[in-house]
Amino acid sequence: MKQLSVNPESEQNLFFHNYSRLPIAPTHGKGVWIVGDDGTRYLDMIAGIGVNALGYGDSRLEEAIAEQAKKLIHTSNLFMLRPQFELAAKLIELSGLSKVFFANSGTEAIEAAIKMARKWAAGNDSAAKNEVLSLSNCFHGRTYGAMSLTAKPQYVGGFEPLLPSTGMIAFNDIEDLEKRVSKRTAAVFIEAVQGEGGIHRVSSGFISRLMELREEYGFLIVADEIQAGCGRTGKFFSYDHTPLQPDMVCLAKPLGGGLPLAAVIGSEKVADVLTYGSHGTTFGGNPVACAAGLAMIEAIMDDRLMENALNTGDHMRRQFELLAEKHPQIREIRQYGLMIGVTVEREAKYYVESALKRHILINATSQNVIRLLPPLILTPEEAQQCINALDEIFTEETAGT
Ligand SMILES: *Cc1c(COP(=O)(O)O)cnc(C)c1O
């Protein structure tokens, strides 16, 4: 057989055309650097879309995966698996909540939470209590339930009809919140810091009112911590920067240390909602992924990576503020630990392409937002290389070169 090329042409031939891939074929990585098959090193400020909290090549993570893989790779949830028990206990300790369900991806965690919310509400007063709400500009995933909560034209176009009895509250709009929720509301899903939507934080005022209305109407609040959770904003849960006390929390992206793993953590209120056979997944809580997740959380604590996210993130904000004084193309900087959004004048894609030429990987979201989700191990010195490159790019853009 002819040697298969890993290039954009064979990509077009082999795959459905749902991804816009960078023309890089990574073979390995170390720290915050990823290396292409031609040996080029890239400073990775995307980190597998916020997954690789420890960067690349962390030996503790590799050893935890190898050790568990040598013992047992899969059994299903017909058995009791020690790594699952340990990770569940850890998540309960970190959240102060009561019960855990493991899934494989963010969207599956959201599906599980939607199902639990509806079943919980069905067991309550009125039969019509099944409405699931989310906030405008949010992102909760790609499967039908999660997509119905996301409801952004580019994600849902052509896939209708969506899940019935879903709806949207205008972001940070307390008046709209008061209008939308009612006794028919089963749950409100929120990202304390919206990721895909361009790095926007929900206001404490909105959250306080949401919690009051929860008392009044008796619905659940589900925190989608899939992108902002696991330490990225400087606290383990990004809602810990707000007054929010959620009834359920969804985690995924970095949770499995790079392996597919997600979790729903729930309070006592929902502890008995699921009964035998009412929900499940074959792979959820895979022992290798759970072992990786434990090693990842331990490394975050041992290396004080949440503190590092705060410090390096702070450094980056200050540097971006200096850039903004020089470059009128920068409109706004939003920074929560190592979750950073920079709103720019033109399409952010331009900067992604320009940075790529300088071997720096950044990401664009919401048209004109540069989004940075670097590994939590990023040092201020490494961050500065990204800042300097962007400084050059803005300067060249102004000079028209
Ligand atoms: C990525 C993401 C999801 C979906 O996770 P997948 O693992 O891609 O299904 C859901 N919510 C948020 C906030 C995300 O960032």
The answer on pLDDT for 2 being more than 80 is: no
Residue 145 Cα to ligand 1 midpoint, Å, equals 13
Provide the pLDDT for residue 366.
Answer: 84
Ligand 1 atom nearest to 260, measured from its CA: 7
For 125, list phi and psi in degrees, rounded to 5.
Answer: -65, -75
What is the CB neighbour count within 10 angstroms for residue 177?
A: 19
pLDDT mean over 113-130:
88
Ligand 1 atom nearest to 225, measured from its CA: 13
Residue 114 Cα to ligand 1 midpoint, Å, equals 14
- Cα separation, 329 vs 101, in Å, equals 45
Domain spans of the chain, in order of start:
8-57+304-399, 60-302
- Cα separation, 262 vs 110, in Å, equals 9
Give the DSSP H/E element, type plus range, for residue 28: strand 26-30
The answer on pLDDT for 307 being more than 80 is: yes
Contacts of 36 (CB under 8 A, 6+ apart): 24, 25, 26, 27, 42
Q: Is residue 107 marked as binding?
A: yes
Contact assessment for residue 337 and residue 309, using Cβ atoms and an 8 Å cutoff: yes
Buried b (16+ CB within 10 A) or exposed e, 139-166: bbbbbbbbbbbbbbeeeeeeeeeeeeeb
Assign 1 a pLDDT band (cuts: 50, 70, 90).
low
Query: How is domain 60-302 classified at the architecture level of CATH?
Result: 3-Layer(aba) Sandwich (3.40)
Q: Is 106 in the pocket of ligand 1 (CB under 6 A)?
A: yes
Q: Is 388 exposed, middle or buried (0-12, 13-18, 19+ CB in 10 A)?
A: middle
Residue 146 Cα to ligand 1 midpoint, Å, equals 9
Q: Is residue 106 marked as binding?
A: yes
Q: Is 139 in the pocket of ligand 1 (CB under 6 A)?
A: yes
User: Does the pTM of the predicted model rise above 0.85?
Assistant: yes
Q: Is 371 in the pocket of ligand 1 (CB under 6 A)?
A: no
- Cα separation, 222 vs 206, in Å, equals 15
Q: pLDDT tens digit string along 132-175?
A: 999 999 999 999 999 999 978 889 999 999 999 999 999 999 99
Residue 38 Cα to ligand 1 midpoint, Å, equals 31
If DSSP codes are grouped into helix, strand and coil, which group holds residue 205? helix
Q: Is 185 in the pocket of ligand 1 (CB under 6 A)?
A: no
- Cα separation, 258 vs 53, in Å, equals 9
Share of the chain above pLDDT 70, in %: 98
Provide the pLDDT for residue 352.
Answer: 97
Of 134, 135, 196, 373, the residue with max ligand 1 atoms within 8 A of its CB, to mutate for a pocket test, comes to 196
For CA atoms 165, 168, 169, 172, the dihedral sign is positive
Nearest protein CA to atom 6 of ligand 1, as residue? 106
If DSSP codes are grouped into helix, strand and coil, which group holds residue 369? strand
Residue 140 Cα to ligand 1 midpoint, Å, equals 6
Residue 127 Cα to ligand 1 midpoint, Å, equals 30
Q: Is 191 in the pocket of ligand 1 (CB under 6 A)?
A: yes
Contacts of 339 (CB under 8 A, 6+ apart): 50, 193, 195, 199, 227, 228, 232, 233, 238, 313, 372, 373
- Cα separation, 147 vs 149, in Å, equals 5
Single-letter residue type at 261: L
Peptide bond into 380 cis (omega under 30): no
pLDDT mean over 324-330:
97
Q: Is 107 in the pocket of ligand 1 (CB under 6 A)?
A: yes
Provide the pLDDT for residue 228.
Answer: 98
Buried b (16+ CB within 10 A) or exposed e, 311-333: bbbebbbebbeebbeebebbeeb
Q: pLDDT tens digit string along 56-92?
A: 999 999 999 999 999 999 999 999 999 999 999 999 9
For CA atoms 122, 128, 129, 135, the dihedral sign is positive
Provide the pLDDT for residue 3.
Answer: 81
Ligand 1 atom nearest to 141, measured from its CA: 4
Assign 217 a pLDDT band (cuts: 50, 70, 90).
very high
Q: Is residue 258 marked as binding?
A: no
Q: Is residue 226 marked as binding?
A: yes
Residue 288 Cα to ligand 1 midpoint, Å, equals 21
The answer on pLDDT for 313 being more than 70 is: yes
**Pairing outcome for strands 99-103 and 262-266:** antiparallel
CATH fold of 8-57+304-399, please? Aspartate Aminotransferase, domain 1 (3.90.1150)
Q: Is residue 36 marked as binding?
A: no
Residue 395 Cα to ligand 1 midpoint, Å, equals 35
Average pLDDT, the chain: 96
Q: By C-alpha distance, which of 12, 9, 5, 8 is closest to 22?
A: 8
Nearest protein CA to atom 8 of ligand 1, as residue? 106
For 339, list phi and psi in degrees, rounded to 5.
Answer: -120, 105
Query: DSSP for 326-356?
Result: H-TTEEEEEEETTEEEEEESS-THHHHHHHH
Q: Is 252 in the pocket of ligand 1 (CB under 6 A)?
A: yes
Provide the pLDDT for residue 400.
Answer: 86
